[in-house]
Chains A and B, each alone.
Chain A
Amino acid sequence: EDQVTQSPEALRLQEGESSSLNCSYTVSGLRGLFWYRQDPGKGPEFLFTLYSAGEEKEKERLKATLTKKESFLHITAPKPEDSATYLCAVQARGAQKLVFGQGTRLTINP
């Protein structure tokens, strides 16, 4: 069974304090790993898709990396507006759906 585990459940940082969020996964052949951002009361917003180990993608202060077992979302010099829940999801080859992790709730204090 495909599974996604995110850690930590919650993370509180000071503005400018860099850190990483983890997404560990088990899947029967990876088609893609997805990162989303979700603000309170809103739907998840697409950030990145990673397809193969070693791949990296960046967007502003965020960088996502992928290995055969996990993905990291690195946040460099975060700002309060980066506060949100970050969701990781995987799609297996031949599967029609995404399997989501429970998310990491990130809070950036000014």
Chain B
Amino acid sequence: DADVTQTPRNRITKTGKRIMLECSQTKGHDRMYWYRQDPGLGLRLIYYSFDVKDINKGEISDGYSVSRQAQAKFSLSLESAIPNQTALYFCATEDRGNGYTFGSGTRLTVV
């Protein structure tokens, strides 16, 4: 099993729909992150969490929400999806000072 697992891998949804992207990890790390990747814009931070009771906004949190259900699980929700949220979404965990471990990503298309 992968250290960081994201589901679904691909998703097409309609404008206005609510959608949840899920992330689970087996590395035992406290710190978890959600990033989106767009061509030409690189990776941008949406939300991050340092433990189950800690949730923080990143640079592009508008239109998104998160839930840290357990140390191992961190979910990202789009309450009402819009086309400019079409992107590749990555979940990551951090081994302090030793870099991030990323999941394989979720490719989301909003039509």
Flag whether A55 is at the interface (Cβ < 8 A).
no
Q: Is the CB of A46 within 8 A of B48?
A: no
How many angstroms between the C-alpha atoms of A36 and B42 in the bound complex? 12
Flag whether B101 is at the interface (Cβ < 8 A).
yes
Supposing A32-B97, A96-B56, A97-B48 touch, asked if A45 and B42 sit within 8 A by C-beta, the answer is no
Closest Cβ of chain A to B68, distance in Å, is: 15
Flag whether B20 is at the interface (Cβ < 8 A).
no
Count residues of chain B with CB under 8 A from any CB of chain A. Answer: 24
Flag whether A43 is at the interface (Cβ < 8 A).
yes
B4 contact set on A, CB distance < 8 A: 43
Q: Is the CB of B97 within 8 A of A49?
A: yes
B99 contact set on A, CB distance < 8 A: 34, 36, 46, 49
How many angstroms between the C-alpha atoms of A96 and B55 in the bound complex? 12
The one of B42, B48, B50 that contacts A100, using a Cβ cutoff of 8 Å = B42
Among residues of A, the one whose C-beta sits closest to the C-beta of B4 is A43
Q: Is the CB of B101 within 8 A of A46?
A: yes
Count residues of chain A with CB under 8 A from any CB of chain B. Answer: 20
Q: Is the CB of A101 within 8 A of B97?
A: no
Flag whether A76 is at the interface (Cβ < 8 A).
no
A44 contact set on B, CB distance < 8 A: 43, 90, 100, 102
Q: Is the CB of B102 within 8 A of A103?
A: no
Supposing A44-B90, A49-B98 touch, asked if A100 and B105 sit within 8 A by C-beta, the answer is no
Among residues of B, the one whose C-beta sits closest to the C-beta of A97 is B45
Q: Is the CB of B105 within 8 A of A42?
A: yes
Q: Is the CB of A101 within 8 A of B42?
A: yes
Question: What are 10 A-B contacts defined by CB distance under 8 Å?
Answer: A32-B97, A44-B90, A44-B102, A46-B99, A97-B33, A98-B43, A98-B45, A100-B43, A100-B44, A103-B42
Binding site for A on B (CB under 8 A): 4, 33, 40-45, 48, 50, 56, 58-59, 90, 92, 97-105
Q: Which 6 residue pairs are nearest across A and B when measured between Cβ atoms?
A: A43-B102, A46-B99, A100-B43, A100-B42, A102-B42, A97-B45
